[in-house]
Amino acid sequence: MLEKIVNGFPFVLLTFTALAFIYPTAFQWFQGAWITYSLGGIMLGMGLSLTFQDFKRVLTLPGPILLGTILQFTIMPMLGYCLSQILSLPEPFAIGLILVSVCPGGTASNVITFLAKGNLPLSVTLTSISTFLAIVITPTLATLLIGSRLDVDPYPLFLTTLQVILVPVLLGILLRRYFPLFSQSLSKGSALVSVLLVSLIVSSIISQGKNHILNADMSIFLAVFILHAGGFLLGYLVSLLFYRDASILRTVSIEVGMQNSGLGAVLAKAHFLDPQTAIPSALSSLTHSLLGSFLAAIWRNSTEKEGIDS
């Protein structure tokens, strides 16, 4: 069931995106608090899939976990900042691209890793750790990298990140720990709900920024594509310097290449006046979902191990 939902994620996202362009008014009600609460719901679903025991995996796979965590918060911010400079993106797009690049790995990375026959425990641990670290690291990196363009107060960014990540994830973990039957019933539909909520967030942003997107040059589309393609590629290649296990290489590649675009959108909408700032996050969600699904299909159907020993 989970595999069918995730396999259908790109189709659902593309369908919602197309509808946002054709009938933008259909999604414009979904904004403000709806987007914030929806991301909280997605994070709650992630929390329902975790236990405190999951974090003990740090002791069993310290090397890959340390490497994957470092790469998530170095490769993507570096790419986001450099692309905004090299392509001379307009300020709202540049800020939005940097903002999504400093976000942690997305929750969809776990199921994409499963489909790609990667290391699922490693993926869950990397997503969990990066999500919690993002409470501090995301506002800090955003302040440092965007500060040259705009005066950014890190405290509101920190507070929003805390609210939409830590609180719902901890709630999910505690529900699973103390109310297992109730949390089990909730988690059965969490994957489908997450797919729908992410699609609604993306569609809402696209519907509101339709004219800006249509009038934008190709630079923002190119920047978002290179950001995620570069993340997948560099995550794989850098990991190859340290490991030869195909499942580890695939997992780190996916964790680096896929961002929590929903968080980027929430931060953009909450803390920057120009609505165009959220557009890179919407394009990011669509791009990394399609690229991740494409890679998962290739890796899953491959009978070889990319010329390396597992």
In this prediction, residues 171-175 reach a mean pLDDT of: 88
Closest CA to 231 of 83, 9, 11, 107: 83
Residue type, 256: V
pLDDT at 270 over 90: no
For the beta carbon of residue 123, count every other beta carbon within 10 angstroms: 25
pLDDT of amino acid 149? 59
Question: Average pLDDT of 278-303?
Answer: 81
- Residue 250 scores a pLDDT above 70: yes
Percentage of residues in the chain with pLDDT exceeding 90?
Answer: 23
Residue 270, CA atoms < 13 Å, CB-side half-sphere: 25
Judge if pTM exceeds 0.75: yes
DSSP state of 258: -
Residue 150 has pLDDT above 80, yes or no: no
pLDDT in the model for residue 58? 58
Q: Specify the pLDDT at position 193.
A: 82
Alpha helices for 23-90 (secondary structure H): 33-48, 57-60, 62-72, 75-86
Contact (CB, 8 A) for 12 and 199: yes
Query: Of 171, 181, 134, whose CA–CA distance to 46 is shortest?
Result: 171
Residue 289's pLDDT band (cuts 50, 70, 90): confident
CA distances to 43, 268, 283 from 166, in Å: 8, 19, 25
| Contacts with 65 (C-beta within 8 Å, 6 or more apart), sequence order | 57, 58, 122, 125, 126, 129
The span from the CA of 272 to the CA of 264, in Å, is: 11
Predicted confidence (pLDDT) per residue in 27-68, tens digit = 878 877 787 788 788 778 877 877 777 666 656 778 999 999
Q: Count of residues for the chain?
A: 310
Give the chain's domains with CATH numbers. Answer: 2-298 (1.20.1530.20)
Alpha helices in 49-153 (DSSP H): 57-60, 62-72, 75-86, 91-101, 108-115, 120-146
